[in-house]
Chains A and B, each alone.
Chain A
Amino acid sequence: MRTNYPKIVEIAETKSEAKDIKTFRFRYNKKVSTGQFFMVWIPGIDEIPMSASYTDNFKGVTVEKIGEATSALFKMKKGDKIGIRGPYGNGFKTPKDRVLFVAGGTGIIPVASLAEKIKKKNSLIVFGAKTKKELFFIKRIKKSCSKLLISTDDGSFGYHGFASDLAKKVLEKEKFNQIITCGPEIMMKKILDLGLEYKIPVQASLERYMKCGIGICDSCAINGYHVCRDGPVFDDRTLRKMRDFGKFKRDASGRRVRI
């Protein structure tokens, strides 16, 4: 049995979500839970980690174009072939009612997929982006949550400021039993601190440079944990033990660099 080997699939559908954000759908019949990720092989270019943005049989990843591999993927069309390994990682634990989701940028990808799965009308999503043009998945979120609050760093839409500041305002007024967050690590660090202040458990989904995806190459290590295998979702107790959380990550060579 070879499980950790790329399965070649055809891109069945692509959809532009926003400027430089595209969803790629493909058929891949392994069971995937929200918060897990795939290693996506773009033949001849690279293999990169991508959260599952759709977890039924018609799977999907939603990609932001930021560099060589994602640009190459953006050029691919329906019928083109990519390799999929996984799913990897633990995924989110099904949260207790009532949930506050806090997502920044592409962090909305696993968050929207989880909100859609649990379908709790009383949960609330705080979604922050740099600017209005970078907002996506809005319709999808509105279908699964009663409330969506948006912030933009430049004030072009919704609350003018950071998602973490907006989340703080929300927490001052409303009660929650669980916080789920994904986005820039500085933001997630602030959310972890808010969770502590308001005594609400937090689950956060982390990103680190990945190679093997199966917990042996050590490139996604953070203080003895491996994001590919022990994560990418960690709870507040574990996050507080990670001295590098919100401060340092490692580049492709393993050097510890500031976030």
Chain B
Amino acid sequence: MKLSTEISGLKMRNPTVLASGVLGETGESLLNVARNGAGAVTTKSIGIKPKKGNKNPTVLETEHGLINAVGLANPGIDEYENEIKIALKSKIPVIGSIFGKDKKEFVYLAKKMGSFGVSAVELNLSCPHAKGYGIEIGDDKKLVYDIVKNLKKSVDIPVFVKISVHTNIVSLAKNIESAKADAIVAVNSLKGMKIDLDLRMPVLSNKIGGYSGPGIKPVGVRTVYEIASSVKIPVIGCGGIMNGEDAVEYMMAGASAVQIGSGVYYRGVDVFRKICKEIKTWMKKNSYKKIDEIVGIGLR
């Protein structure tokens, strides 16, 4: 059985990818994820300057998932070169996630990432809890088009765009495709909140956070289905993938690969190896030989 696949020239031994922001702040943690079976890894979203992020509490468990407002904490692009160097030893594709406040910042960051040797850049246009970044930019169709268009002119590596559900997905996806992006990643965490009943106040210091994990899977599957139905570029599915069947479901909806974030919490860092094994079991039972055969078969 063949789990290996290729997306925009990125050769992957299997379709499981570490999602941005989970275990991706340090090169050695990325290496460890690679050792645990991932097909590719995505870095933490990196910006121009070091950013401390929000005060704690920044990560909580809720009934059906996690809710976080880390706030794009990162050491800044210059410092991050060392982490990339370490991560590249894994020999699997390293995807550099970046966030900026405008076109200029995105171009600068993407060029830097490219010079460090990453296989692709992923634009975080969807972080739900950082002022002036993420969603606040990803919601502006024209701005997104402009950023992607400029990036494609300035870097040679593939450009992935990670989008949020809190926007008009189909028209945004079409815009991203027409700006010549190489793939769309969907979804980022959903805007959420947790209020404590004893203290009668939001628990996250940022109040609003990003909801991820098992509870958001149906939203992710629907989003991927809508995008895959309306554009031709590859879609990378993300949101609540915990096991092989979740991954297969996303691939049926049209995802060429899947990203896993919260699954690291629920099943441990070897979640990648576990999911690959479970995908294989499913394929065997259903007589599929190549993973690519599953992609999009649910688009009916």
Contacts and interface: CB of A to CB of B under 8 A. Distances in A.
Interface centre among B26, B74, B269 (most CB of A within 10 A): B26
A212 B59 contact: yes
Contacts of A251: 50, 52
A252 B205 CA distance: 15
Contacts of B265: 214-216
A253 B76 CA distance: 8
B62 A218 contact: no
A48 B205 CA distance: 13
Contacts of B269: 215
Contact of B79 (A46, A218, A223, A256): A256
Interface string B7-33: 000000000000001111110110110
B142 interface: no
Interface stretch (A1-9, A30-38, A198-206): A1-9
A253 B74 contact: yes
Given A2-B63, A6-B196, A41-B57, A224 B75 contact: no
Q: Is the interface of B mostly helix, strand, loop or mixed?
A: loop
A28 to B, nearest CB: 14
B140 interface: no
B26 A254 contact: yes
A70 to B, nearest CB: 13
B62 A5 contact: yes
Interface residues of B, number: 45
Interface string B38-58: 000000100000111101111
B56 A48 contact: yes
Nearest to B21: A217
B56 A211 contact: yes
Contact of A5 (B23, B50, B61): B61
Contacts of B21: 217
A43 interface: yes
A81 interface: yes
Interface in A245-259: 250-256
Nearest to A218: B25
B73 to A, nearest CB: 6
B61 A3 contact: yes
A5 B262 CA distance: 16
A255 B57 contact: no
A113 B25 CA distance: 33
A259 to B, nearest CB: 16
9 contacts: A2-B62, A8-B198, A47-B56, A81-B199, A211-B53, A215-B264, A218-B24, A221-B25, A253-B76
Interface of B: 21-26, 28-29, 31-32, 44, 50-53, 55-63, 66, 68, 70, 73-76, 79, 82, 194, 196, 198-199, 201, 203, 205, 261-262, 264-265, 269
Given A6-B60, A46-B205, 9 more contacts: A44-B201, A211-B70, A216-B265, A217-B25, A221-B29, A224-B29, A254-B75, A256-B75, A256-B82
A-B pairs, 7 with minimum CB distance: A47-B56, A224-B28, A212-B59, A218-B25, A8-B198, A4-B61, A253-B50
